[in-house]
Structure 1
């Protein structure tokens, strides 16, 4: 068996190393992946609502939906802005007319499970009257398997 030992025959020249050490790059990318996986759910913070459970799967979306939330106290929020119930019809009409060129935007309705069913139905009636018919009722993943929205 022969060993490849450095000798004087190479006349002081060494062959260039063409290998790139990718281990540090992979380490950095894995750390960034973990950081994004941890912070991504925190970016969707909104009005705290105790949603009911469901086994439905999530819906595919092409544009950003409008989020309408009702918290346990019965306060209304469009996205993160509180709206008085008397001003709700005007705000919904504004949302419906903003998208006048195409179809009305998707609306995500998030209602606390402690609310009265009639209260949620009144809000859904206002949505229907404003022409916002693409409404999804949001839930949390139940004890079985499931998604986060049901239509």
Structure 2
């Protein structure tokens, strides 16, 4: 019982003093479950477009500011952030997503499905280069296997 009433005297006129005990075990249990839920779901919130990334042994690069995310899904659809871009409108979508910051001053993170043709990925990288995006990072899954 979390709170009870104790009495030192017996009978009708005995004064009852409240016992101030709080059981913190259920609180700790709930907090640990919430912590586990957040630890599991947090990595899933970083990328909105599901892409099957290739594996690589390269180390992650440090990031100072939020990069501009460009993704190419397995069917060849290009996404800027989480919104799909119609064929040929990559430049307009990048201008809208970069919020007035020139593409040459902002890092672009390119995520491409590993089942895509190499030429499709290089075509998108060429379009990004034509728009002035010269700092392009390719995202991969980490892997300990050697090539």
TM-score, structure 2 normalization: 0.70
Distance 2:124 2:41 in 1: 32
Q: Which residue of 1 aligns with 2:112?
A: 111
CA distance in 2, matches of 1:34, 1:86: 43
Using the alignment, how far apart are the partners of 2:72 and 2:112 within structure 1?
Answer: 5
Consecutive unaligned residues of structure 2, counting only runs of 5 or more, are: 1-22
Shift of 1:79: 1.0
User: What are the superposed Cα offsets for residues 56-76 of structure 1, whole Å, 9 maximum, x if unpaired?
Assistant: 122221221111111111111
Shift of 1:115: 1.3
Give the CA deviation at 1:45: 4.3
Q: Output the TM-score relative to the length of structure 1.
A: 0.69
- Within-5 A mapping of 1:1-150: 27=29, 29-95=31-97, 98-100=100-102, 104-144=105-145
1:29 CA drift (Å): 4.4
Distance in 2 (alpha carbons) for counterparts of 1:97 and 1:34:
35
State the aligned residue count. 132
Q: Select the structure with the greater relative contact order (CA < 8 A; seq sep ≥ 6).
A: 1
- Spell out, residue by residue over 1:82-125, the C-alpha distance to the aligned partner (whole angstroms, 9 max, x if none): 0012111222344557114x962221101111211111111111
Once the 2 structures are TM-superposed, how far is the Cα of residue 31 of structure 1 from its aligned partner? 3.4
Helix, strand or coil for the counterpart of 1:110?
A: strand
Higher mean C-alpha deviation, range 57-66 or range 88-97: 88-97
**1:96–1:104: 8 Å Cα contact kept in structure 2?**
no
